[in-house]
Amino acid sequence: MFWKSQGGGGGPWGSGPRGGGPWGGNRGGGPSPRGRGPQPPDFEELLRRSQDRFRRVLPGGFGTGTGLAIVVLGILVIWLASGFYRVLPDEVGVVLRFGSYNRTTQPGLNYHLPTPIETVLRPSVTRVNRTEIGYRNAEGPGRGQVTRQVPEEALMLTGDENIVDINFTVFWVIKDAQAYLFNIRDPEATVKSAAESAMREVVGETPIAQALSEGRGKIETDTQALLQGILNVYNAGIELTQLQLLKVDPPAPVIDAFRDVQRALADRERLRNEAESYRNDIIPRARGDAVRIKQEADAYRQEITARSQGDADRFLSVYNAFKAAQDVTLQRLYLETMEEILKNSNKVIIDKSAEGGNGVLPYLPLPTLGTGTANISPPAGAPGGGTGAGGPASGGTPSPALSVPPLRRQ
């Protein structure tokens, strides 16, 4: 080497005044080897020392082969014991043998062949999973919920070619763990894509006015039924528990104008209902009045007809009686007519025999005649009349007027 050709010892740094490389001399105090550099570690020596330490750890009387056997046996026991596993009450255990489905285990302590022969998956079958479509909830800086809209999922076309902004949530559970793990690759993405597709189909058949008002319940029901059918076709092992519409609004740029239109439509519907109510009040009342007037007219017609018929029958009966006995009938008619005429009038009857001869002046109660309360004397020759004790000729009180009873009809 170059440094050896220069007559120096102790390596490329020379011997120096203290000798022995760059750190100077032999720190152990012994003779420093000259002409040799740093030596590499002796691996055989390291291995021999490790074996000696291992023999000292083993109990006395055991050779190297026996100790290794014990170690291997311990490792085997630990490996076999790793097959014990516990399934929680809300889980089921799905055991895979070399990556293929083997069996399903129930909650509790179970055992499977250690890895890599068998492995176990433990999905939760009672937890309600939540899939959000049209929006995402995230934790905000103040530990609050921050909602972020996803327009590419939320904007949908209605049946009358309007655009509506819909946010909804799907709640689902695992019904069949084997189908859930092996028939679909990404359950969350599958549920989201199928739910969005089902909602677009249902909304595409619904007018926007119905979707914004009373049609929300029908949209939820139809979408849930359609989505469950899609997942059943996929044999996804998923069962829907609820589909909830959170927001159904027009797009944000036109929502104010749309609300004005909806208010106008609501006013039109209100006025129409008021007009219908007024019509429903007036028309039945007018119909009732018409029926009442018609019934009154019919009753009047029947009354007039019956009265006319009665008068005609009475006239015919009188005529028939007149034909049978004309004299008697004429007298009876005269008397009945006079009775009808005079029954309500004041009558004064003066006896002809009291005039002049005896100088008797008949007393006429003229002041009381106007009131209709005077007593009238009967004609002469009648009971209580003439110049009898109660007649005017004798100065007594006038007697009541003579009443001629009507003749009995023959």
Angle of the 326-342 helix axis to the 255-324 helix axis, nearest 10: 130
Of 271 and 110, which is predicted with more confidence? 271
Residue 298 is classified by DSSP as H
Of 65 and 32, which is predicted with more confidence? 65
| Neighbour count for residue 37 (Cβ, 10 Å) | 11
Average pLDDT, the chain: 76
Question: pLDDT exceeding 70 applies to what percent of the chain?
Answer: 69
pLDDT band at 289 (very low <50, low <70, confident <90, very high): very high
Q: Which CA distances in Å does 245 have to 66, 135, 159?
A: 71, 12, 18
pLDDT band at 72 (very low <50, low <70, confident <90, very high): confident
Q: Tell me the pLDDT tens digit for each residue of 222-259.
A: 999 999 999 999 999 999 999 999 988 888 788 788 77
Q: Tell me the pLDDT tens digit for each residue of 141-189.
A: 666 678 888 888 899 999 888 889 999 999 999 999 888 988 888 999 9
Calculate mean pLDDT across residues 265-275: 92
| Own/partner long-range contacts of 195-202 (Cβ < 8 Å, ≥24 apart) | 195/131, 195/133, 195/168, 195/170, 195/223, 195/227, 195/243, 196/133, 196/153, 197/230, 198/223, 198/226, 198/227, 198/230, 199/133, 199/156, 199/166, 199/168, 199/223, 200/156, 200/157, 201/226, 202/226
Q: CA 7, CA 33: separation in Å to the nearest integer?
A: 15
Residues in contact with 110: Cβ distance below 8 Å, sequence separation at least 6, in sequence order: 84, 85, 86, 87, 93, 120
Q: Tell me the pLDDT tens digit for each residue of 348-388.
A: 666 666 555 555 556 666 666 666 554 544 444 444 444 43
Angle of the 43-57 helix axis to the 64-81 helix axis, nearest 10: 70
Question: How big is the chain, counted in residues?
Answer: 410
Whether 67 shows a pLDDT value over 80: the answer reads no
Residue 250's pLDDT is: 86
Whether 109 shows a pLDDT value over 70: the answer reads yes
Q: CA 337, CA 331: separation in Å to the nearest integer?
A: 10
Which amino acid is present at 363?
Y
SS3 category, 391: coil
**Exposure of 68 in the CB half-sphere (CA atoms within 13 A):** 4
Strands 108-111 and 118-121: unpaired
Residue 174's pLDDT is: 92
Whether 66 shows a pLDDT value over 90: the answer reads no
Q: Tell me the pLDDT tens digit for each residue of 24-45.
A: 444 444 444 444 555 666 767 7
Q: CA 203, CA 222: separation in Å to the nearest integer?
A: 10
Residue 55's pLDDT is: 66
Q: Tell me the pLDDT tens digit for each residue of 307-348.
A: 999 999 988 988 888 888 888 888 888 898 888 888 887 766
Residue 395's pLDDT is: 41
pTM beyond 0.95: no
Question: pLDDT exceeding 90 applies to what percent of the chain?
Answer: 28
Residues in contact with 267: Cβ distance below 8 Å, sequence separation at least 6, in sequence order: none
